[in-house]
Amino acid sequence: MSIKQKILLIVFLGLFIVPELLWSSLSNDIYEYSQSGIPGATRSLRHTFLQKTDNINYLSVVLFIQLLGLVLSFIYVIIIRKNINNKPIFWSSLILTFLLAVVSFFCFGLSISLRNIGY
């Protein structure tokens, strides 16, 4: 991969990684959904201002930025697939970005629907 391709991939992945490191929006949602089967045990992994009901619009924006970064990373990995010499790394990165994008899409959709019902 050339320097330009690496920089673009880092920028696209940065759209996902930076908000996740700052506010842990997606990892909090995944952790809370995994704890939902246990009655009374639903706790967040890390408390942030995005979890308050007044800030659902900010959460939607952060999740949209993460979703945009993952989708752009997925598309860019497909575009530069001929320049990636190691095929297992290519397929694992493609599957990982796709799965993260699907989870991010569902969390974004949930945040939009919660905003529309007045949560």
pLDDT tens digit sequence for 51-90 = 677 778 888 888 899 999 999 999 998 988 888 888 898 8
Average pLDDT score over residue span 83-111: 89
Please tell me the pTM assigned to this model: 0.78
Residues in Cβ contact with 73 at an 8 Å cutoff, skipping those fewer than 6 apart: 9, 12, 13, 15, 16, 97
Q: Can you tell me the distance from the alpha carbon of 17 to that of 23, in angstroms, rounded to the nearest whole number?
A: 10
Averaged pLDDT for residues 30-54: 67
CA 59, 62, 66: angle at the middle one, nearest 5?
Answer: 135
Hey, what are 17's tokens? Answer: 């990684």
H or E element in which residue 82 lies: none
Give the rounded percent of residues in the chain with a pLDDT score beyond 90: 20
In angstroms, the CA 102 to CA 64 distance is 12
Higher pLDDT, 5 or 66: 66
Q: What rounded mean pLDDT belongs to the chain? A: 81
Q: Which residue has the tokens 């908000």?
A: 19
Taking each helix axis from N to C end, the angle separating 56-79 and 25-35, rounded to the nearest 10 degrees, works out to: 100
Q: Hey, what are 93's tokens?
A: 């990165």
In the chain, what percentage of residues exceed pLDDT 70?
82
